[in-house]
Amino acid sequence: MIMKLEPIFKETLWGGEKLKTRFGFKTPYEKTGEVWCISGLKDQANRIENTTFSGKTLYDLWQEERHLFGGKEGDYFPILVKLIDANQDLSIQVHPDNAKAREKGSLGKTECWTILDCEKDSTIIIGHNASTLDELKTAIEEKRVLDIVNEHPIKKDDFFFIDAGTLHAIKGGTLLLEVQQSSDITYRFYDYERLDNGKPRPLHIDEALEVVKVPDRDIKTALETKYFDILFVNVAQSVFRKSHQHGDFVTVLDGEGYIDNILAKKGMSFFISSQTAYQVTGNVSLAIALIM
C-alpha cells in the first residue's frame, strides 16, 4: 500500500522561505524552519491523504495497524524525517541517547544530515576539541565556546552523522534533509549570546553536560546507527523496488514522477507499507528512510 503523507510545517525564528520557493510547500508561515515529512510522534504525526487509512495519522497506524510495518516492535514510531531551512544559525545543542531519554518517556536522538543546498563558505558545527568535561565547563564560564567547537566547511550533497551526545549546530544559509530518531528532546548549549525580544533564550547547560560526549573530535560522514538507514535513489526513467520489511519512508528531494500511479514530486513524502512491490517512473531523486 502506498500512502501519501500530509506535511507538517514549523514556524521558527531562524527559518526562511526556501521550503516554499524550492519545494513549493504551501506553508502558512513567513519563516518556515522545518517541514516534518515523516513523523509518528503523538499529536505531531503526519496525516495519511489517500487509501482506506485516509485521515488517520502515522501515529494511529503504528498503534493500530502494526502489520503495515511488518510487525516491528517498540512503543514509539522510531524515526523522524525533516527538511530544514536554516536562514540563520541554530543554537549549539546536544541530544540524549536512548538510555538517558528513557526517563523522559522518549527515544534518544541520533541524527544525520544531507546537505541539499548551502551558501558559499557555509559551515556546520559537529563535536568539540575539549579533552575533559572540565575543559568544556571552563570554556562555557569563560565564554569561549566558539573556540572549542569543531566548525566544518560544507557543500551540497555532503552527509554527516551526528550521534546522540555530540554537540552540533546548523549554521545559516543551509538547506538540508534530516533523518533522526523520533524524539523532541534538545538541550541548548550555547546561543551565541543572542537576544530574542531583548532576552537570551534559555540554555540547558546542566542537562547538556550530563549527556555530552567527551572527547568527541571526529566528524563522521557515514551512518553509524542500528536504529535506521537511509537510501538515496536517483530515478532517470524507471526503477522497481520491493519495500523493506518494515516499510519504505520516501521523501522526494527533487524532480517529478510517479510511484505506481500516484504523482510524486519534490517535497512529497510517502509511507509504502511492508513488502510492497512498486515502480517509480519519471525523473526523481528520492531519499528512502528505513526502520532497522
Q: Give the active site residues.
A: 188
Dihedral sign, CA of 38, 39, 45, 51?
positive
Q: What is the CA radius of gyration of the chain?
A: 19
CA–CA dist 157, 254 (Å, integer) = 13
Residue 174 in grid coordinates: 543551509
Alpha helices in 77-192 (DSSP H): 98-102, 133-141, 145-148
Q: Is 277 exposed, middle or buried (0-12, 13-18, 19+ CB in 10 A)?
A: exposed
How far CA 252 is from CA of 53, 169, 290, in Å, comes to 21, 25, 15
With cell 513488502, the residue in question is: 275
Q: Are 34 and 15 in contact (CB under 8 A)?
A: yes
Q: Is 238 exposed, middle or buried (0-12, 13-18, 19+ CB in 10 A)?
A: exposed
* DSSP strand pairing (32-41 vs 79-86): antiparallel
CA–CA dist 257, 73 (Å, integer) = 33
How far CA 185 is from CA of 96, 127, 169, in Å, comes to 7, 18, 15
